[in-house]
Structure 1
Amino acid sequence: MPASSSFASAQARPVAPIVVAGATGDLGFRIAQALLQRGATVRALVRPGNHKPAATALQDLGAEMVEVDFNSVTALTKACAGAACVVSALSGLREVIVDTQKRLLDAAVAASVPRFIPSDFCIDYTHLPAGSNRNLDLRREFNQRLDQAPIQATSILNGMFTDLLTGQAPVVLFGLKRVLYYGSTDQPLDFTTIANTAEFTAAAALDPTTPRYLRVAGEVATVRGLQKAATEATGQAFGLLRVGGLWVLGTLINVTKALMPSSDDVFPPWQGMQYLHNMFTGLPKLNPLDNSRYPEIRWTPVREVLAARRSEPAA
């Protein structure tokens, strides 16, 4: 039976709650929203005293908000009881991605939850050498534990969030009207919006037939493709700015790490540089793509994201 047919059959039946951890973060909130829009019952796990606007908004939308001690497997097990799937959208370093997710995984197994979606949402780290990206190394480490657990697991891999091109990722430079890059202009790169990633994750959470990995890209674009998208989005001609080969970026990463004091920042400047270095190597290119698995999803192209950036009021 095709995946879309089996998914439709699953949707036709009443489903158990979907547990979402990290539901008050940007991606987690959107995943919970997308689940609710699909008619799912959502149980959002939040830390005691969480009064973020996102928590109130989800409750108003019909989600069940459950305060839980994330340091207690017993408490997490109770919170996961009766769920069809646990979706983790937690963000952090080792104590979150490895330690907290391990407790959440242990709880899901203890509660006999059939499926678990970890907080990956990134490029294909399975093809990267260890040590090339700190944050992705942590995901690899957790997933090695996940693969040993008696639960069906599905990782969602989506490349880079397209949204970052308008801010945190210094690639499309609006002020200079340049697209910055290292290495080749012809290397295909994977981009997916946060919203599309959330939509796809919600569909996958409600689909009991998902494989171990699902790979999606809202758009696959080369540097020249980004140049064209920026030009079309703004109506202004964008040029290219090659800083150097990948070895130059590697050197910049090492220098930046050496000059920066140690901190608990999840995304220091050198981490974003590591991510770009990984992408420009081509090693984590997503293949094959599973975009067609849920045909109702409309994938947002890079040009639309850049155009939205142009229409924002100036600061």
Structure 2
Amino acid sequence: MKRIILVAGATGNLGNKICKELIKRDADVKAIVRATTSLEKKETLTKMGVEVIEINLSNIDEVEAACLGVDCVISALAGLGDVVLDLQKSVLDGALKAGVPRFIPSDFCTNYNALVPGENRNFDLRRQFKTYLDGTAIKASSIFNGAFADILKYNTPILNLKDKSIGYWGEKADWKLDFTTMEDTAAFTADVALDQNAPRDLQIASFQISPNMIWTDVNTATGQEFRMQQLSNLEDFAQFIKKQRADHPAGENELYAKWQQAQYMYSMFSTQHARLDNLRYKDLDWTTSLEYIKSFVK
């Protein structure tokens, strides 16, 4: 019998890719979307083979009706407290009322369990939702993918193509950072959704790479020698972030405030996956660091 999987946030980049991977695995896929969702986005899902259900995601009864008979709900919702807490709680509560046995929360990030509360605003929101989720009877599985590999393209201090520089904080030029492509994350998530025995927490990474290793891959891909630079120690970086946040209160209402981006950088150099669950599903083909860097570094 086919598994029935429902995806919230299916019109987003990650959610769309998760739907594709579920369809590849012959699952019956449903997506709950707002009535205001564009026709183009809904048609993209429908052509893929996804059953699109328009509901008010804040209405628990409507969520319940959409979740009847579903084996697992995947949340790929992204946002601030009104989404990660309020809207995701509504989806979870509807799933609980419908008797859905499993739930995958929108924890597609660094494993925040090892981090100090208060150091990352967006992780704190996920931590609050986790407390609520773990107080319910549903079986949950969180997927921690480190950072999405896409950030390597965006001229962050870790890899700045414009300045031809590679940066790091503290004495961590050899500290391995966890990166996963969105495609690899989606494929793994689809397997987890279909795996009734999946554990509470899973950690993955397409590749684990240090600043020095990034230098080597960039040199291999381009023949160019980028400048390595220590940006500051971690203590000074933490204080800089706190000041930046205090000086820009408007950022509290921005998903990607400048200080939030710095918080992500700080988190990446503060924790790393001690183990990986990449081999749990045998048919996955993980992207290598050199393969990925070659895809955008010229």
Instruction: Judge same fold: TM > 0.5, yes or no.
Output: yes
| Shift of residue 169, structure 1, vs aligned partner | 3.7
1:158 aligned partner? 145
User: Equivalent residue for 2:266?
Assistant: 277
Q: Which amino acid in the other structure matches residue 292 of structure 2? A: V
How far, CA to CA, are the matches of 1:266 and 1:235 in structure 2?
37
2:14 pairs with 1:39: no
Cα distance, 1:162 vs. partner?
Answer: 0.8
Other-structure match for 2:208: 220
SS at match of 1:310: coil
Partner of 2:46: 59
Rounded to whole Å, the distance in 1 between the matches of 2:249 and 2:96 is 39
CA–CA separation in structure 2 for the residues paired with 1:61 and 1:233: 35
- 8 Å CA contact retained: 1:233, 1:304: no
Partner Cα distance (1:297, 1:197) in 2 = 10
State whether structure 2 residue 103 is matched by structure 1 residue 83.
no
Q: Is the contact between residue 177 and residue 210 of structure 2 (CA under 8 Å) also seen in structure 1?
A: yes
Shift of 1:52: 5.6
Distance 1:52 1:242, change over 3 A: farther
Question: Is 1:244 paired with 2:228?
Answer: no
> Is the Cα contact below 8 Å between 1:93 and 1:266 reproduced in 2?
yes
Instruction: Identify the range of structure 1 (160-169 vs 20-29) with the bigger mean alpha-carbon deviation.
Output: 160-169
Q: 1:233 aligns to what?
A: 221
Structure 2 distance, partners of 1:55, 1:304, is 33
**Residue 21 in structure 1 maps to residue 4 in structure 2:** no
Segment drifting more, 84-93 vs 297-306: 297-306
Hey, what's the Cα distance between the residues in 2 that align with 1:168 and 1:57?
Answer: 31
Mapped partners of 2:105, 2:218: distance in 1:
33
Query: Deviation of residue 168 (structure 1)?
Result: 6.3
Cα 1:266–1:85 change in 2 (3 A) is same
Identical counterparts, % of pairs? 39
Alignment partners' CA distance in 2, 1:106 and 1:303? 43
Instruction: Measure how far apart 1:239 and its partner are.
Output: 2.5
Aligned residue pairs, count: 296
- Deviation of the 1:255 alpha carbon: 2.9
Give distance in 1, aligned partners of 2:202 and 2:39.
31
Judging changes above 3 Å, is the alpha-carbon distance between structure 1 residues 53 and 233 closer, same or farther for their aligned structure 2 residues? Answer: farther
Q: Which residue of the partner structure matches residue 296 of structure 2?
A: 309
- How big is the shift at 1:24? 0.5
**3-state SS of 1:209 partner:** coil
Deviation at 1:259, TM superposition (A): 2.9
TM-score for both structures, normalised by structure 1 = 0.90
Q: CA deviation at 1:244?
A: 1.2
- The whole-number CA distance in structure 2 between the counterparts of 1:231 and 1:60 is 42
Letter in 1 for 2:3: A
Matched residues in 1 for 2:192 and 2:57: separation?
Answer: 24
Q: CA RMSD in A?
A: 1.4
Find the aligned partners of 2:101 and 2:125 in 1 and give their Cα distance.
Answer: 24
- Cross-structure match for 2:165: 178
Give the TM-score taking structure 2 as reference length.
0.95
Contact between 1:169 and 1:272, CA under 8 Å: does it hold in 2?
Answer: no
Runs of 5+ unmatched residues, structure 1:
1-13
Asked if structure 2 preserves the Cα contact closer than 8 Å seen for 1:15 and 1:84, the reply is no
Contact 2:100 2:138 in 1 (8 A): yes
Stretches of structure 2 lacking an aligned partner (at least 5 in a row): none
Whichever residue aligns with residue 94 of structure 1, its letter is G
The amino acid that maps onto 2:23 is L
SS of the aligned residue for 1:243 comes to: strand
Instruction: Report if aligned partners of 1:253, 1:274 keep a CA contact under 8 Å in 2.
Output: yes
Corresponding residue of 1:4 = none
C-alpha distance after superposition, 1:188-239 (max 9, x if no partner) = 2111111100110011101111000011011111111111122222232222
State which drifts further: 259-268 or 154-163: 259-268
Aligned to 2:257: 268
In 1, the alpha carbon distance for the partners of 2:297 and 2:58 equals 43
